[in-house]
């Protein structure tokens, strides 16, 4: 029997609306973000045999996970390695601001081959992807043959999907996910990965529609 992982991205924050780099900035959910969390909790309430619920400790993820946990009768386990990328001194910048104010850094970050590109006083790409891999490897081993829900962040989920599905973490931007979307995959004992659904927001309505995210051209 394979291990099933259901990834949920946290609900909307003000930083999502502004398109700002808020990795470790501990923002709360907006009112719409709280409604999104309720909708995704209702979606997951129909599932059975959920072995565990894990979450980033940042409040936007934790609040989403707690809302889900109330419907599943599970208490979220907080895991530091599920936190968003640490943008360091660039926290609060938009990508456009980063490109204008720090063009050399921006150019390095846009080069997916540069694993040692990183944010001053934050993380490098290599460190971040290794952290995500460490978290997922540990949870896969701990819950082998089970189903678990992981509530985390845009780049964590993107990196995890890219690593599991392609072996290349720098393809994370091919796996962007919206707020309170559901992504469901299954990892066979052989290591083969089946993606059952990706970035599913069918449970959200017009009042709670997920906030999108795109790279600047």
* Catalytic positions, written as ranges: 10, 84
CB neighbours of residue 193 within 10 Å: 17
Helix (H) or strand (E) holding 55: strand 50-55
**Number of helices and strands (H, E) in the chain?**
7, 6
Helix, strand or coil for residue 6?
strand
Residue 113: alpha-carbon gap to chain centroid: 22
Axis-axis angle for helices 154-166, 125-142 (nearest 10): 70
Radius of gyration of the chain (CA): 17
3-state secondary structure of 161: helix
Give all strands of the β-sheet with 182-187 in edge-to-edge order.
Answer: 77-78, 50-55, 147-152, 3-9, 182-187, 193-200
Q: Where are the alpha helices (DSSP H) in 28-153?
A: 31-44, 59-72, 95-101, 103-109, 125-142
């Amino acid at each position: 029997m394979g291990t099933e992982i259901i990834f949920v991205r946290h609900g909307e924050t003000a930083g999502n609306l502004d398109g700002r780099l808020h990795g470790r900035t501990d923002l709360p959910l907006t009112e719409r973000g709280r409604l999104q969390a309720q909708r995704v909790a209702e979606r997951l309430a129909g599932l059975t045999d959920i072995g565990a619920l894990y979450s980033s400790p940042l409040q936007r993820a934790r609040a989403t996970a707690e809302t889900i946990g109330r419907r599943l009768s599970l208490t979220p386990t907080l895991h530091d390695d599920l936190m968003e990328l640490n943008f360091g001194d660039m926290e609060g910048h938009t990508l456009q601001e980063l490109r204008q104010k720090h063009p050399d850094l921006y150019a390095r970050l846009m080069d997916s081959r540069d694993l040692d590109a990183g944010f001053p006083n934050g993380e490098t790409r290599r460190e971040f992807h290794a952290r995500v891999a460490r978290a997922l490897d540990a949870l896969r081993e701990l819950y082998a043959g089970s189903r678990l829900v992981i509530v985390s962040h845009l780049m964590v989920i993107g990196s995890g999907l890219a690593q599991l599905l392609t072996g290349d973490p720098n393809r994370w931007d091919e796996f962007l996910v919206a707020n309170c979307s559901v992504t469901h995959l299954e990892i066979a004992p052989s290591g083969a990965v089946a993606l059952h659904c990706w970035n599913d927001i069918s449970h959200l309505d017009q009042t709670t529609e997920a906030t999108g995210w795109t790279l600047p051209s």
